Amino acid sequence: MTSQTTTHEFQAETKKLLDIVINSLYTERDVFIRELISNAADALEKFRHESLTVEDLFDAHMPLEITIDLDKDKHTFAISDTGIGMSRAELEANLGTIAHSGSNTFLTQLAEAARKDVNLIGQFGVGFYAAFMAGQRVRVQSRSWDGSEGHEWASDGSGSYTISEEKGLHRGTRIIVELKDDAHEYGEKWKVEQIIKQYSSFVSFPIKLEGEVVNTVQALWTRNRSEISEEEYAEFYKFVGNAATDPMYRLHFSADVPLAINALLFVPRDNFEHLGFGRVDPGVNLYCQRVLIDQHSKHILPEWLRFLKGVVDSEDLPLNISRQSLQDNALLAKVRRVITKRFLKYLDEEAKKDPAAYLEFWKIFGIYLKEGVTSDYEFQKELGKLIRFESSRSEAGIPVALAEYVERMGEGQETIYYISGPNRAAIEAGPYVEMFRRRDIEILYTLEPIDDFVLNHLGEFEGKKLVSADRADLDLGEDKRSAEDQGEPQQETMDEGSSAVLVSWLKKTLAEKVKEVIISKRLVDSPAMIVNPDGYMTSSMERIMAVSRLEKGIAPEAGKKNLEINPANPLIKRLAELQKSDEPFAQAVAEQIYDNAMIQAGLVVDPLTLVERNYKILNRAAGV
């Protein structure tokens, strides 16, 4: 025998992982069978894919299948596949380390997931190590498709594993799980069959359990929609999505022109990024004529649809397309466009059919659609229909569609207005909405940091411009309805001479801070407000850019704003007099008005200066 056994330590992360798998996950250990079957199927898919382009494959005659053999007396569970196999180096690399190398956060998240719901482990790809949930010792015999000598990997899952040469193996992998004393049930046919039916019915290779094929090998997505039951869809979703619940939405569609496509897409119930698991990987697999070309494909859908699970199959793609060339394949780009448009259309239809259900979707996945608007020009028109915002006419917490806004627009209104704020109450108490209230014009509330970027990128909807209400050049037209009409006492406006004097004094006093001081045509009650002379940047956007500059260690450079003052406001009128009689105090008041307006715009002021000045003013008011 040339065979020589070498002993290797597991990578530190792998040890921790094994510890979690063995000690925390044992309650749901049925899933180890699913993990091993899924690896076997992956290996078969990889082989099938290679065999399309490579000739003279080792053991080419072997049928592509998965075989499970049980030994009730010796208490073993053995699973074999005729897939791609592993060389000695691959056994070491794949089964001795975790791909997510050095990731302690990964382990923390995994431990957390294990505590919450063991079905989440599939999402993490701990895969193979699940064998140690049921096995006290696990042996992996494998021979690579390149025909190099086979090897056996063996471990009890504690600290190390051994590798030795193993003669006479066929191509593929055989994993022998020597069952723990309390796991002997996995040596029983009925038990294993039940688990396969539950988790692995849709594996696209025959699974032979003690000589008998126990799954139905079929590509569900190529079947006629009317012949597929709800249960089959739900089971399939759990299979492709590694999910424990039913999906929120499902779209099964087929097209022949311009391209032959079969797609089956699911929206899950949870957003794993929200749940704090980091960025999710794409969840849609790309097939070509039922052959898996690219699992969890990054290319078949835009990145912002990474929350979707499912399958896309196109007969028009060349079968021998390599994974590298997927990136810039023109045909694939076409398929992606067709599917994306179809999916967005489906969402729009669902939103109309059942608005409440759509809002549920929007609450959980809306952030991805917003990401789509800001990162992808191609689908803006479709996405514009799907985004939702609260507004001055919506109920609190019930966002509306841009289309609803447009439908409610008064005659002659050509613009969709919005204003950002931390919440409804803050916006409604602020200066920006008063003129809209007065003119009875609806205004959208952008409550999330990304929202202004979204509307800014979108630019317009159905030919109506989207404009932030804090723009300096906003023109709402003359306020035709007099205050008397609305039953309010008419506020006397400052005469032009005094207001001109006040404006030039304010400009001088606040020269360091403001770009322009302007007599407002739109303020109703508030004394002043900050508006943005740069038509594209809103205060909310500026605040976020400032934060991101700070995070990068760059000094935030705030562009100077315009200050609009309300000539009918009593404080402003009084300020005009004060400026003549007590200039130092007038200056403090002017600066305080400016700071207050900045705060209402959500912008940063220097809190120390503000508090000091505020006390000065309070002292005076209190007669100190």
DSSP annotation string for 285-309: EEEETTEEEETT-SSSS-GGGTT-E
Does residue 59 come out as left (phi exceeding 0), alpha (psi in the -120 to 50 range) or beta? left
Measured in whole angstroms, the distance separating CA 114 from the mean position of its chain's CA atoms is 22
CB 385 within 8 A of CB 369: no
Looking at residues 119 to 138 of the shown chain, list those that interact with Mg ion (rule: CB under 5 A): 127
Cβ-based neighbour number of residue 587 at 10 Å? 18
- The interface partner of residue 84, options being ligand ADP, Mg ion, none and the CB cut-off 5 to 8 Å by kind, is ligand ADP
Q: Over 384-424, what HEC string results?
A: HHHCEEEECCCCCCCCEEHHHHHHHCCCCCCEEEEEECCCH
**Residue of the chain from 14, 141, 155, 173 that contacts ligand ADP (CB under 6 A):** 173
Residue 92 or 378: the one with the smaller Cβ distance to ligand ADP is 92
Residue closer to ligand ADP by CB (options 83, 302) is: 83
In angstroms, what is the minimal distance from the CB of 138 to Mg ion?
14
# residues near ligand ADP by CB under 6 A: 16
Q: Which of 87, 94, 314, 540 binds ligand ADP (CB under 6 A)?
A: 94
Q: Binding to ligand ADP (CB under 6 A): which residues in 6-45? A: 35, 39-40, 42-43
Q: Which residue has the tokens 């003052």?
A: 565
Contacts 24+ apart (CB under 8 A), 344-349: 344/379, 344/382, 344/383, 344/385, 344/386, 345/382, 346/249, 346/251, 346/253, 347/249, 347/386, 348/382, 348/385, 348/386
Partner that binds at residue 431, options ligand ADP, Mg ion, none, CB closer than 5 to 8 Å by kind: none
Give the residue carrying structure tokens 């105090």: 585
Interface with ligand ADP (CB under 6 A), residue from 22, 84, 433, 443: 84
If the CB atoms of residues 85 and 527 are measured against ligand ADP, the closer one turns out to be 85
Distance CA 463, CA 416 (A): 10
Q: Count of CB atoms within 10 A of residue 493's CB?
A: 14
Q: Which does 232 bind (CB under 5 to 8 A by kind): Mg ion, ligand ADP, none?
A: none
Closer of 153 and 505 to ligand ADP (Cβ): 153
DSSP string, 110-149: HHHHHHH-GGGHHHHT-GGGGHHHHEEEEEEEEE-TT-PP
Kindly state the tokens that stand for 190: 């009925």
From 67-75, 76-84, 376-384, 500-508, span contacting ligand ADP (CB under 6 A)? 76-84
Least distance to Mg ion, CB of residue 34, Å? 9
**What's the rounded Cα separation, in Å, for the pair 591 and 476?**
28
83 vs 567, which CB is nearer to ligand ADP? 83
Residue nearest to Mg ion (CB): 127
User: How many H helices and E strands in the chain?
Assistant: 20, 23
Integer Cα distance of 118 and 490 in angstroms: 67
Among 83, 282, 302, 602, indicate the residue that binds ligand ADP (CB under 6 A).
83
Look at residue 81 and give the partner it binds from ligand ADP, Mg ion, none, a contact being a CB closer than 5 to 8 Å depending on partner kind: ligand ADP
267 SS3 class: strand
Least CB distance from residue 146 to ligand ADP, whole Å? Answer: 13
Residue 420 contacts which entry, ligand ADP, Mg ion, none (Cβ below 5-8 A, type-dependent): none
Is-contact 123 272, C-beta < 8 A?
Answer: yes
Member of 16, 37, 39, 431 binding Mg ion (CB under 5 A): 39
Residue 390 touches which of ligand ADP, Mg ion, none (CB < 5 to 8 A by kind)?
Answer: none
Hey, which residues does 138 pair with through a beta bridge? 155, 177
Q: How many CA atoms lie within 13 A of 90 on its CB side?
A: 18
- Any contact of residue 82 with ligand ADP (CB under 6 A)? no
Applying CB under 6 A, which of residues 30, 45, 65, 81 lies at the interface with ligand ADP?
81
Binding mask 114-143 toward ligand ADP (x if CB under 6 A, else -) reads: -----------x-xx---------------
Instruction: Kindly tell me which of 83 and 430 has the beta carbon lying closer to ligand ADP.
Output: 83
Task: Give dist(CA 431, CA 605) in Å, integer.
Answer: 18
Q: Which residue is nearest to ligand ADP (CB)?
A: 127
Looking at the Cβ atoms of 145 and 365, the one nearer to ligand ADP is 145
With CB under 5 A, what is the number of residues at the site for Mg ion? 2
The listed partner (ligand ADP, Mg ion, none) that binds 43, CB under 5 to 8 Å by sort, is ligand ADP
Q: Which of residues 547-586 bind ligand ADP (CB under 6 A)?
A: none
Residues that bind ligand ADP (CB under 6 A): 35, 39-40, 42-43, 81, 83-86, 94-95, 125, 127-128, 173
Residues that bind Mg ion (CB under 5 A): 39, 127
